[in-house]
Structure 1
């Protein structure tokens, strides 16, 4: 739940929360196999290094990217489908598996429960130390209910006194303001942090509407605004533990809804979230070798949709009545809701190192979510509220074993997990009904995975993994949303058998290093859940059936000279429908062995960085010139049932560039960026038009 909470407050709280002093036990960060490991001691350097993982370094983060999602799209095996500009909905895909299957973490805490309160792009890049992308297997200490992989944002650790403030202005009336203040009080031994941020954008770029015979219009109802604030108090080596940390956060979001087939003039989403998180951590807890880490969290959110316009229009100005006699532009009922959500969670992680080559770990996470929708406008106009109350209780247990063998050349990471899920709610017996019946759904199951790494030499290692994982369905999938999404109480948990085989080459030299990695992967997914049309305008999650994936990815990163760094990666992923029969019938499946729609299958990225200190003899300065290119081959957004199929997303090729200049020993940093430099038209997610060329200028001040 800190997953939900700490991320917000810990990370949003903005660096201030994270800006805490290192434990006095002084964990030394060591770079091993491309993964940063906290070296408590030689005996405790047991990490899941056999897992398929990509690590995005500080250098790549401080590049041409404006957001975390920008960075992830340049990583091998990752795609991101967006619906628009700043603050728009997006779906992350790792090797073709996407959405709810991918875990999102901040400092190893899941933030999926706060999808409306916080997103990856809310995290200021200046706060991030590195980004870890796990592909296929998620480490035991992170737990969670994900099966396709996970993204873990690792935040920086700040010195005892620190001030960081930045302001960025960009195209489409975009503004970003972030600030962090941290200080240590010697008298009390406590460290205090406070921070906040503001993101606003009109997103008023021009777009071509393929759905409307190529009409070109300017987005006129896509305003986005988010305010974030938080604080923390940290105590090291007090009250019997190595660290106590109390964090709080506040988030306020406003997002207008942009129409494509027809304009939307007044509908918008809104939300407010507050939360608190208490972390407790100690090494050698109870007895030597046992490390203890526990985080207790609470989050309260109040959010809803405002949609009660009494008139609609077309792009040519033609006027239409609302979707119902009571108003609305989107649904067949109006809405002016203020739903309340309460989230409680506790995460416990115990790691026992009982020899120089073996360790056991136990992960346990309990989470309870209670939804209490409220829409007085619906109740007044229609006599009932379409969204119904519900609750979800989940438990995840994981037992892991890590061991070295063959003179520490072989590392094995074995994990077994148990999942339990219970959900209660109310459903309508048929679409449009104004009476609701109670329903309860529960399920449990097991999963297991094994990852191996063999060190052939100091520079070359082999990795392999095999996983039999599952993902429990979410509340929305099981119980719907009370109206437009129909319940599907018989939905089964998704099951996946996945494997990975890879090679990693690393070579360090005087002025840098070179890394080359190649991975081949395969996945067979059963009971795949997809959102499909149901009755009238309603939709429903259904068990699609089986899907299989084969793919290969490769990446090279190298310091070519003391002044030039370059990288390139490419991914090919072939996802196919392997259902023999149509669901619920004996008819042959017409899309058998057809490529899965709306998922890119061929993509690549490349870029370089030129850097030089004290350019032109100006002491205390550093100059960086960066350029990144991204390529996504065309793909269908519906099944290809004919060679004349026209439902396709065209090939996308974009180039971003940036210039960063720091002076006064890094106290002042000025960054200029250009995205989509060639102003190429590109689309995503069922032909959603994305922004064209844009520019931004950022000024940052650091005092430490």
Structure 2
């Protein structure tokens, strides 16, 4: 006998977005719609386990099945176990089940169901033929149909396709990365992103070090980072994306080359949006603690409350990081005779500490607002500085820098009738950046004081004790109109005003003019208009958009005569593009997108970062023609398992590309008149038929060259841009062993690998063959095992990991050596 019931919840797609989310759904997606549950249409027979049959045992097993919009089972998890033999029999067979997919308003959607399989001696294992009964959720109340007397009923709650799956199959050039697995591992945000195709994440050391992010050949601020649609640097994270705790992020949206107008962003090569988990009904909490090599400890705490009936809700989080970063590196140092010899030493002045938190509270279902939220946040970090950007010369023993950030945000969301929806954001952020370089001692690589300096200051030049203060006032307003069920019009406006001043407390003479005291500000306003069309029963999705960029920079430059000279710049520029998704044949679809993008210089690029990067007040905005084209497939299920694949080509044709360049202490951003990036990237994956083994890999080839014979870099025309890898790949293998000790546990051994082909640190045309500065081929591996179990409403996890298993010599940022072999342990608990 085969019977089925569900307490069945579909993955959300068009549920109301978080107030700070990047894209509120059109009203048509949230309106009540007719719901239809899935129904089995196959004739698969579930075999009775021979050992259990011989013993005369019967049992019931409950599975949680994930069914995509094509009616294919993509995941099968045991919810109620009856032992290894029974569990394996139904779970293996479930991947061969086929369903008429669930539907909302006639549209096929992905869903999850709980299915009960009853093993009975002598029973017929064929699936029941009668259709199940659908019972809509309370807010969509509708009469329930009566089921045939001999059939189990199926109770359903339908909400639509998952947001991640909807975005992946949209016309947008976006990849959505879930952090579910990463939250149980010791990997930081930089490592999670570096495992994606087309992405390079390089850093000048361990935790807390300088980070460089590259996507499809474009890098640094050419890629904008957001947290729930709000610029990351205005959301309480002044230390960069890689040090954002993974456990506070639910998923990552990576937009390649074409950035939706709703972000109100002037990104040149793409955007990365970190999304928080939706607040769940009831009381929930989570905590994680990670410890390991180099004196590293990371703690995150979070909790939320939301009544099921709406009204008041609240959420809070806290994080704390500390590390010594005392891993071993290879250097050149003088011996007792004064001869320069190679040595392996432990870093001695590279510590990092960070502390931060945030509080969010608001109300839902008010008469004048669907949701209104107030957020407040604060964070700070302190970082020792051991060497310059290229790890050349001697080390620093006392130089340090740090930052403190405070801010608040007010968010509002409201549906105006059935066709119009608006959301708005207003915020303020304050940041203070300190830099101190006042030591009177010269240090060697062993951490010893060698001699006293004639003048204080380790970085060269005068001693520095300075603070930069920066204030930002920003806003964003989005409005969407559902012109028809298949057409939507969206308008976004995002102004930002940033002001900076500072104080240098170590002037050469009390009568000298403080070069940091000038008031400097940048006003930007990005306006976007977007039209979306879904046609031919969702076979075609088209997005067309236009953007307007307003930029006004006000600055004063201190001349050698100690007088101020105005260096103002104002411009207005237009841009736009289009994106198309075409379903070629199930489950294959084609995506093509284009944008004429503009990126306006940031504060740190124009005015320096207050530490190692100098100002360049003549820096011009950069523009680019960005093109993406590729084929992708929904999960393809065969008798050999589930296959996934995606292949994309891209082109970036940039003018006035902003590039960090320099030597020693004289680093600044400069314009490369013309640059071109061409590339191709692909990803493939396979999961075994029973879902116990998963293998994924991706590779990227990119050719990034200077195309201009003019300007500072004119002599290097047609050469690859320096210090940028041109070929790299990632691979991951993971086992998923369920029911190891209890019915609700999972043991997950895993292995990851990354290969980066060798590249030039400087322009390839500089120096003779034997003297060129290069980074050799690199191959890094990591391995570990995680265990997770559910006990009485709690989810407990423990993972151990060995990073850089072979202790390979790794280099990322201008030849700065990365940590060697290291071990980590992480514990998590959720309620």
TM-score range, shorter chain: 0.7 to 0.9
Do residues 375 (structure 1) and 504 (structure 2) align? yes
* Local SS of the residue matching 1:683: coil
Cα-to-partner distance string for 1:252-275 (whole Å, 9 max, x where unaligned):
211110124212111111222111
Residue 491, structure 1, aligned to residue 613, structure 2:
no
Does structure 2 conserve the Cα–Cα contact (< 8 Å) formed by 1:200 and 1:224? yes
**Comparing 481-490 and 262-271, the one that deviates more:** 481-490
- Are the aligned partners of 1:46 and 1:402 in contact in 2 as well (CA < 8 Å)? no
Q: CA deviation at 1:40?
A: 8.2
1: CA distance, partners of 2:771 / 2:440: 38
| Residue number in structure 2 paired with 1:137 | 258
Instruction: Provide, for residues 383-435 of structure 1, a one-character-per-residue CA deviation record: whole Å limited to 9, x for no partner.
Output: 332323311111010111111234431111111111111121221224xx644
Equivalent residue for 2:414, pick from 255, 268, 282: 282
1:659 to 776, 785, 790: 785
The answer to whether the aligner puts 1:76 opposite 2:197 as a matched pair is yes
The answer to whether 1:627 aligns with 2:751 is yes
User: What displacement does 1:59 show?
Assistant: 4.7
Residue 172 of structure 2 aligns to a residue whose secondary structure is: coil
TM-score of the two chains, using structure 2 as the length reference = 0.75
Instruction: Give the 3-state SS of the residue equivalent to 1:420 in structure 2.
Output: strand
Q: Is residue 177 of structure 1 aligned with residue 309 of structure 2? A: no
Matched, 1:352 2:481: yes
Are the aligned partners of 1:64 and 1:626 in contact in 2 as well (CA < 8 Å)?
no
Deviations 1:568-627 (A, max 9, x none): 11110011121234549xxxx442222221000010011111012211x43332211111
1:679 & 1:480 partners in 2: Cα distance? 36
Structure 2 partner of 1:333: 462
For 1:619 and 1:41, the matched residues in 2 are separated by 29
Corresponding residue of 2:224: 103
TM-superposed CA distance for 1:239, in Å, is 4.4
Q: Structure 2 CA distance, aligned partners of 1:40 and 1:361?
A: 23
Change (3 A) 1:533 1:570: closer
Q: Could you list the per-position Cα deviations for residues 27-73 of structure 1 after superposition, in whole angstroms to 9, with x for gaps in the alignment? A: 99998899x9999889x999682222222134553464521110111
Q: Answer with 332-341 or 255-264: which moved more.
A: 332-341
Closer, same or farther: CA 114–422 of 1 in aligned 2, 3 Å = farther
- Aligned mates of 2:367, 2:538 — CA distance in 1: 38
Tell me the SS of whatever aligns to 1:477. Answer: helix
Tell me: CA distance 1:163–1:624, structure 2 relative to 1, closer, same or farther (3 Å). Answer: same
C-alpha separation between the residues in 2 aligned to 1:258 and 1:382?
A: 32
Query: Where in structure 2 are the equivalents of 1:517-556 lying within 5 Å?
Result: 517-533=646-662, 538-556=666-684
Residues in 2 aligned to 1:518 and 1:129: alpha-carbon distance in whole angstroms: 26
Query: Given that residues 67 and 121 in structure 1 are in contact (C-alpha distance below 8 angstroms), is that contact kept between their aligned partners in structure 2?
Result: yes
The Cα shift of 1:281 comes to 0.8
The CA deviation string for residues 488-521 of structure 1, in whole angstroms up to 9 with x for no partner, is 4443221111211100011255998532000111
Confirm or deny: 8 A CA contact 2:787 2:797 kept in the other structure: yes
| 3-state SS of 2:567 partner | strand
In structure 2, the residue matched to 1:601 is 726
Note if 1:611 corresponds to 2:736.
yes
For residues 339-386 of structure 1, give each alpha carbon's deviation from its aligned partner in whole angstroms, at most 9, with x where no partner exists. 221111111111111111111111111111111212334387673323
1:207 and 2:332 equivalent? no
**Using a 3 Å threshold, how does the CA distance of structure 1 residues 436 and 37 change in structure 2: closer, same or farther?**
farther
| 1:141 partner SS | helix
CA separation in 1, counterparts of 2:821 and 2:557?
Answer: 46
Any idea what SS the aligned residue of 1:594 has?
coil
Q: Residues 458, 382 of structure 1: CA spacing in aligned structure 2 closer, same or farther, 3 A cutoff?
A: farther
DSSP 3-state at the match of 1:599: coil
The match for 2:519 is 389
* 1:305 corresponds to: 435
Tell me the TM-score normalised to structure 1 length: 0.88
Name 1:646's counterpart in structure 2: 772
Gaps of 5+ in 1: 1-14
CA deviation digits over 1:462-508, x for unaligned, max 9? Answer: 11112211111223433457998665444322111121110001125
The match for 2:528 is 398
Deviation of 1:248 after TM superposition, in Å, equals: 0.7
Q: Are positions 1:673 and 2:801 aligned together?
A: yes
Is the Cα–Cα contact under 8 Å of residues 427 and 487 in structure 1 kept in the other structure?
Answer: no
User: Is the CA contact (8 Å cut-off) linking 2:110 and 2:160 kept in structure 1?
Assistant: no
Distance in 1, matches of 2:383 and 2:32, equals: 42
Offset of residue 186 of structure 1: 8.3
Paired position in structure 2 for 1:414: 544
SS in 2 for 1:644: helix
Please give the alpha-carbon distance, in whole angstroms, between the structure 2 residues aligned to 1:602 and 1:593.
18
Q: Residues 84 and 441 from structure 1, CA distance in 2 versus in 1: closer, same or farther, beyond 3 angstroms?
A: same
Q: 2:313 aligns with which of 191, 199, 206?
A: 191
CA RMSD in angstroms, aligned pairs only:
3.3
Q: Among 279, 286, 290, which residue is 1:168 paired with? A: 290
Question: Which residue does 1:234 correspond to in 2?
Answer: 362
* Counterpart position of 1:5: none
Q: Determine helix, strand or coil for the equivalent of 1:543.
A: strand
**CA distance, structure 2, for counterparts of residue 30 and residue 247 of structure 1:** 37
218 and 27 in structure 1: CA distance in 2 versus 1, 3 angstrom threshold: farther
SS at match of 2:507: helix
Aligned to 1:263: 395
Residues 495 and 334 of structure 1, relative CA distance in 2, 3 Å threshold: same
Name 2:490's counterpart in structure 1: 361
Distance 1:619 1:483 in 2: 54
Q: 1:210 to 1:572 in 2, by over 3 A?
A: farther
Please name the residue that 1:10 is paired with: none
- Note if contact 2:227-2:235 (Cα within 8 Å) is conserved in structure 1: no
Which residue of structure 2 aligns with residue 152 of structure 1? 273
Closer, same or farther: CA 538–428 of 1 in aligned 2, 3 Å: farther
Give, in angstroms, the shift of residue 681 of structure 1. 0.9
Counterpart of 1:458?
Answer: 586
Aligned partners of 1:270 and 1:479: how far apart in 2?
Answer: 17
- TM-aligned CA distance change 1:176 to 1:486, over 3 Å: closer
Q: Conserved in 1, the CA contact under 8 Å of 2:184 and 2:797?
A: no
Following the alignment from structure 1 to structure 2, what is the Cα–Cα distance between the partners of residues 679 and 228?
A: 33
Q: Deviations over 1:152-173 (max 9, x none)?
A: 1122123221111121111000
CA distance in 1, matches of 2:441, 2:715: 42
Mapped contact 1:61–1:130 kept (Cα < 8 A)? no
- Take 2:586 and 2:502, find their aligned partners in 1: how far apart are those partners? 58
Q: Secondary structure at the match of 1:172?
A: helix
Distance 1:503 1:179, change over 3 A: same
